[in-house]
Structure 1
């Protein structure tokens, strides 16, 4: 057991209570402001282009395929000229 002011054993009830106090203390810190600005990106009022995750996935896979095709074409072009 913890003695002499040392931290309570991990997983004990005292450690759990300490973590609860630590999370709720000082609620308006820097993380509260950062969370508020981060949520603005996911609201309907946020400015900018609105595209679904599926469109992003298809575009990224298409870009990867395009780069792979360019690599293959480059290898074939260098093979013919050498």
Structure 2
């Protein structure tokens, strides 16, 4: 973007230079390219660890939420019986 807050016209040389500048500085010393490389290692077939499909993770998380909700209900009922 220009200093005044307005972007140069889309097809201009200034816009192209701005885009070129943005691309070269995005992954420099901040470690952007290296961090993306290590994150992608988690999604390869060679990654160590348990391989679970996203559907299984979804079902397990919903089951866990339901289990906690049931425990809350049972705890409330147990507390009511104890007081009576």
Question: TM-score, normalised to structure 1's length?
Answer: 0.78
Match of 1:75 in 2: 76
- For 1:13-52, list aligned pairs within 5 A: 13=10, 14-15=14-15, 17-25=17-25, 27=27, 29=29, 30-52=31-53
The size of the alignment, in residue pairs, is 78
Segments of 5+ residues of structure 1 without an aligned counterpart are none
Question: TM-score, normalised to structure 2's length?
Answer: 0.77
After superposition, the CA RMSD in angstroms is 2.3
Structure 1 stretches of 4+ moved >2 Å: 10-17, 24-29
Q: 1:26 to 1:72 in 2, by over 3 A?
A: closer
Segments of 5+ residues of structure 2 without an aligned counterpart are none
